Structure 1
């Protein structure tokens, strides 16, 4: 059976075509959107799960041979921790968040692994591990979708950003697509194609157009912002070759996660000493705080968790004018609560789409700790990444050499009135149409999969 697979930075979704159009399948209870998170009792149990759930025997044997060391470590973990084969050792989506919140120090938690794909300087073992994380998540999504359908999914179109990373984009894209291809094959897909995510979002929108339009599609995803200028409408909808209709596309690694990081850094980290002073009157170094919240950067998180950072915090504690704030930061690091902080920032961003101010509690860090954040203060803090998003939109228009008839915005962060107002201020009085902020890419991928595989 054919499907469209949105392996997103923030959420995963999978869709199939029905007589009524694209239909997204439930992946977690009745939810069609599964947060892109994974919690494992031990990271090597992720590799073990991939091998156990591979269906193609030849692929499986090659995988088991290639991952011998990790599989031996997984067996040792099971013996030492008395973990039986039928015990649940992996958690996905909202359940992964729940396990992380309850046991942040005890397991391995990963959020938005798509953000890491295409990263420079990754060693072979890093690439293998990312293959395993992605394959494990894809196996889970595919298994749940097939349980709903009662049929096997064998052919899929997977969404991809224009550029996975900003540095050395060609090599980065090649590495990321190789990881996604390898993982999807291990998940059991026999045929895999890729489609730019903004184009997929546009295809979903096109099914509802009654007149031909030139549309600027803006997909503000969790990890990237991607734009495409597309001619679309009834005259174009049934064409298989659409290359002449795609007038321009731009994309960069700046998305909803970057907004969350800015909110966490600018508004939450001062509670942990970020804007405080040393006894000498000099400002507290800020990079260790940004490393804590930059959860979409492997090197930043590795540095935050390193012994060097531990030593730096101990030295700063002796010199801090307000050591109680830095002690709070040291506890956050020890308890691995930095992902929780960034999740809180995301929740604030979502809440401020519908209100002018939001109160957030951080009582899991310390009793009565929290803050109130007004929308205008959030707007100031997210200005740098928002400016990058706007420049991608104007660049796409310039590449196309014409103005769009309308702007179609999708992606979770596109719900923010701050972002919508910024788009209208930057580009002018062009109608802005909201799409299905979470499902448009998966729906468009399903539409395209049906066309190319039938």
Structure 2
């Protein structure tokens, strides 16, 4: 047994780490005073030291030479994990890339604690990979091995929505029947759980957890839907070419709309094919923009602008999205309604998973006292509207959306590893 342990929320979009030290639970400042960090990494050309989070994003957008990566969590359990990738001309395994990101988190926590930390509870989605139990097991095993490789000797896992519940539980009075709605960048997870501040120190919560469900849909999928609906048509998506008026290949547009696939487009073959197709294009202005993005390798900048648009549309009914890095004065006026129409099918799948969770728990939607919203995707107005309709009698708790999972994992680590 130990007096010090930690919880790590390695998220698709953002990550956090919290320390449990002799009963004191606290989030660790990772970048300046921020207790969350974007799950991004940048390897500058001809340098051995990677940069993380906002610093990585800044270096990339300042057009520094090197390799930028984010949404690494999504490769766990997939065939891409085994393939590895090329970093500045050299092959590198994804295990090493993820390990370097976790080393940075661990070092910050150990610096704050003033000692080494060997005990960790890692957060995990209910399903790393949908409808594939073997891939799901493989993903957890891969993350466990990465955690071991960075120096954790004692590793346990907890579902992320359960961790979020633990973080909120300490502030409750009386028992509440809650559903945790954890909508991250890559997954949407749900837990129906009985909570009370009297249960905080219980080591076994099995009887309180009534059901878990999850689906591999998150904010990154909303980015993709918005990109394909509003932005890619302005880059020639679904335009035609040649005498037979064939539709241009769709794959580059889908890959440009997904964080984890953008880098795979930057090949000589792809650029040459796109140049050849431009000669036969029936919409050279729009299709020419696609070629420019590939030649300039500005796909991440493009998708970042889409993500900024998504965030802006949580507050505004309409937003003028600028893409002047592709073409001078190039912008697109995007309405929230277009965004909502684009994501409606995904929101329905998320809602179905929440309904399934309540059904598996053996309770009615009207019985839920508390809805705990966590994860940045819960900011989307259509999502909030959906969950208010689903649980009409429930109070809504939505503080610390980006850090509650990390905090709850540390509470769990204290119960599992502390004296």
Using structure 2 for the length normalisation, give the TM-score.
Answer: 0.90
Kindly report which structure 2 residues correspond to 1:389-428, keeping only aligned pairs within 5 A, or say none.
Answer: 389-403=350-364, 404-428=368-392
Please tell me whether the aligned partners of residues 75 and 81 of structure 2 are also in contact (alpha carbons under 8 angstroms). no
Residues 55-104 of structure 1 show CA distances to partners (whole Å, capped at 9, x for unaligned) of xxxxxxxxxxxxxxxxxxxxxxxxxxxx5xxx664111111112222337
Greater strand percent: which structure? Answer: 2
Distance 1:368 1:20, change over 3 A: farther
Please tell me whether the aligned partners of residues 394 and 427 of structure 1 are also in contact (alpha carbons under 8 angstroms). no
Q: Which runs of 5+ in 1 are unaligned?
A: 43-82
Q: Is residue 2:295 matched to residue 1:326? A: no
Greater helix percent: which structure? Answer: 1
Distance 1:360 1:450, change over 3 A: same
Q: Is residue 2:169 matched to residue 1:209? A: no
Aligned CA-pair RMSD: 2.4
Kindly report which structure 2 residues correspond to 1:214-233, keeping only aligned pairs within 5 A, or say none.
Answer: 214-233=177-196
Please tell me whether the aligned partners of residues 256 and 303 of structure 2 are also in contact (alpha carbons under 8 angstroms). no
Partner of 1:265: 228
Secondary structure of 1:204 counterpart: helix
Distance 1:167 1:339, change over 3 A: farther
Q: Distance in 2 between matches of 1:128 and 1:252?
A: 30
Distance 1:360 1:263, change over 3 A: same
Secondary structure of 1:192 counterpart: strand
Partner of 1:200: 163
TM-fit CA distance, 1:175: 1.7
How many residues are paired up?
A: 406
Q: Distance in 1 between matches of 2:387 and 2:260?
A: 25
Partner of 1:361: 322
Q: Which moved more, 1:123-132 or 1:389-398?
A: 123-132
Q: Distance in 2 between matches of 1:12 and 1:23?
A: 15
TM-fit CA distance, 1:312: 4.1
Kindly report which structure 2 residues correspond to 1:28-427, keeping only aligned pairs within 5 A, or say none.
Answer: 28-41=31-44, 83=46, 89-103=49-63, 106-120=65-79, 122-123=81-82, 129-168=93-132, 170-278=133-241, 283-297=247-261, 302=264, 304-306=265-267, 309-403=270-364, 404-427=368-391
Q: Distance in 1 between matches of 2:309 and 2:170?
A: 33
Partner of 1:46: none
Q: Which runs of 5+ in 2 are unaligned?
A: 86-90
TM-fit CA distance, 1:10: 0.9
TM-fit CA distance, 1:306: 4.8
Q: Distance in 1 between matches of 2:55 and 2:235?
A: 28
Q: Is residue 2:408 matched to residue 1:449? A: no
Distance 1:427 1:286, change over 3 A: farther
Please tell me whether the aligned partners of residues 171 and 197 of structure 2 are also in contact (alpha carbons under 8 angstroms). no
Distance 1:20 1:238, change over 3 A: closer
Q: Distance in 1 between matches of 2:348 and 2:115?
A: 45
Q: Distance in 2 between matches of 1:418 and 1:20?
A: 39
Q: Distance in 1 between matches of 2:385 and 2:300?
A: 29
Using structure 1 for the length normalisation, give the TM-score.
Answer: 0.83
Distance 1:317 1:167, change over 3 A: farther
Please tell me whether the aligned partners of residues 227 and 393 of structure 1 are also in contact (alpha carbons under 8 angstroms). yes
Please tell me whether the aligned partners of residues 41 and 107 of structure 1 are also in contact (alpha carbons under 8 angstroms). yes
Secondary structure of 2:161 counterpart: helix
Please tell me whether the aligned partners of residues 26 and 33 of structure 1 are also in contact (alpha carbons under 8 angstroms). yes
Kindly report which structure 2 residues correspond to 1:424-443, keeping only aligned pairs within 5 A, or say none.
Answer: 424-443=388-407
Q: Distance in 1 between matches of 2:20 and 2:254?
A: 43
Secondary structure of 1:227 counterpart: strand
Distance 1:323 1:33, change over 3 A: same
Please tell me whether the aligned partners of residues 69 and 260 of structure 2 are also in contact (alpha carbons under 8 angstroms). no
Partner of 2:88: none
